[in-house]
Amino acid sequence: MTALTLSTAGAATLRADALVVGVAKSGKTLVVAPGAEAVDKAFDGLAAVLETLGASGAEGEATKLPAPAGLKAPVVLAVGLGAAPEDGESYDAEILRRAAGVAARTLTGSKKAAFALPIAAAEDAAAIAEGALLGAYAYTAYQETGKDAKKPLAEVALLGAKPRDKAYKAAAERAQAVAEEINRARDLINQPPNDLYPATFAAAVQAAGKEYGLKVQVLDEKALTKGGFGGILGVGNGSVNPPRLVRVAYTHPKAEKTLALVGKGITYDSGGISLKPAGHNETMKCDMAGAAAVFSSVVAAARLGLEVNVTGWLALAENMPSGSATRPGDVLRMYSGKTVEVLNTDAEGRLVLADALTKASEEHPDAIVDVATLTGAMVLALGDRTFGIMANDDDFRTAIHEIAEEVGEQSWPMPLPADLRKTMDSPTADMANMGVRMGGGLVAGLFLQEFVGEGIAWAHLDIAGPAFHEGAPYGYTPKGGTGSSVRTLVKLAERTAAGEL
């Protein structure tokens, strides 16, 4: 894991492998961002040098230069910040976060980098730290690492971050904890499904529980059968790797509210008997990204010592075709007692979530948020960088949307049209697991709503788009698992602890 330090040293005097500075566009002019004044002086006009090299200051741009005399670092890396803010305003936190991520990725193989990006307050330092730590992520567990292999940036030093100031120190500590938990989720999402299956996922939760003082309960296939968890069993029965329902709880003695988080944990989704075609199943190890986000968020709450109780429910199963698999047309009796006709075994996430939502509701939390890579329809609606938010309470949905925007996660509020509910009516069971195709993401949300306890505020985050990035890395987002929604869930827990929700 990349180390993080706060430094009072000047940009010209700190010894590091590289010195990171920001450049921005002010009209048609390239300007050097605050924090890099000494570097600008050493170059006798850094902006002019960069313009000669074709730099524009655009977001995502990175330009390496050999350092001139007067700087201890041998290399200067200029990262674009986009348009310079108006006088008296500071750079947006997400712009700083992404720029730091670009820098950390560009400096793969370096031991230490000094970040002289603009810091006007502790929040800016937190954004830069978070972006750098997330950008330095790499998943190499299954790769040979010879002496020539480049390792992630080993240390990030933030210049101008006031290490003795309580606000800056707390901001850095929070950024490191949250980034490390996001990276924990990324590791789980990237892990191959032959090694990550329900039992091993549960074991990982138990190990973290011992480390951070969390209470962990694992229901295996026998306990699930005895308890009548027909949704989880119906999905998991086709696999040689049986399902699990994991409860992982963080409690605080001064907590006045309890937040329940429910995660979809399909460790591999073949589609079951309704088999996915070639081209649609190669990345389906990521179908447990919701459970990974929930798990990491509970650990983050514990590490931050938040005055709120946070309980995570991980519905873990492997959706495979076999002689024991659920068939289209089968009827499952869910944990709630409702019966569900399975019309499509590839609509399995809602089945495992339904049982977990019912179980979570029994503890009467103040609110429930479920997180799932649930529908391709949501990706069609919002693209691959934005998750959808549905809820049974408009104010709760709005609060989560605002929190997501604040922490830099793209999201959009979505409706739950009542008229779509009847499209899930079944002539055989209480309801079907499918409705009309158009608006499929909303239909899935309506299905889940049926299993939420009465009077409990509930929200559903469909992270099918941003959970797994198949393209080239950008900002602080790597190729592969992203850890989508962890920042939103942690901030939600913080707001709940503060009595703001």
What angle in degrees, to the nearest 10, is found between the helix axes of 166-190 and 486-497? 140
* Of the candidates 478, 473, 385, 487, the residue with the CA atom closest to the CA atom of residue 139: 478
Contact partners, residue 52, CB within 8 Å, separation at least 6: none
- 7 touches 164 (CB < 8 A): no
∠131-134-140 over CA atoms, to 5°?
155
**Cα separation, 17 vs 20, whole angstroms:** 10
Task: Give the three-class secondary structure for 337.
Answer: coil
Which helix (H) or strand (E) covers residue 62, if one does?
strand 62-66
Cα–Cα distance measured from residue 310 to residue 328, given in angstroms and rounded to the nearest whole number: 36
Backbone angles phi, psi at 227, to 5 degrees: -80, -10
244: annotated active-site residue: no
As a residue count, the chain comes to 501
The Cα–Cα gap between 255 and 501 comes to: 13
Asked whether the beta carbons of 95 and 61 are under 8 A apart, the reply is no
41 is catalytic: no
Question: 257, 276, 333, 338: which is the annotated catalytic residue?
Answer: 276
**Helix ranges restricted to H, 53-158:** 93-106, 122-135
Angle, helix 349-361 to helix 440-449, in steps of 10 degrees: 30
Q: Rg for the chain (alpha carbons), in Å? A: 24
Residue 52, φ and ψ in degrees, nearest 5: -60, -35
| 3-class secondary structure, 196 | coil
CA distance 126 to 172: 5
Question: DSSP code of 322?
Answer: S
Report the SS3 class of residue 434: coil
Element at 75 (helix H, strand E) = strand 75-83
Record the tokens describing residue 114, joined without a space.
Answer: 């000094």
Unique residue bearing structure tokens 């000094």 = 114
DSSP 9: S
Q: Which of 162, 186, 350, 487 is catalytic?
A: 350
Q: Please give the backbone phi and psi of residue 473, each rounded to the nearest 5 degrees, phi first.
A: -60, 150
- Kindly list the catalytic residues: 276, 350
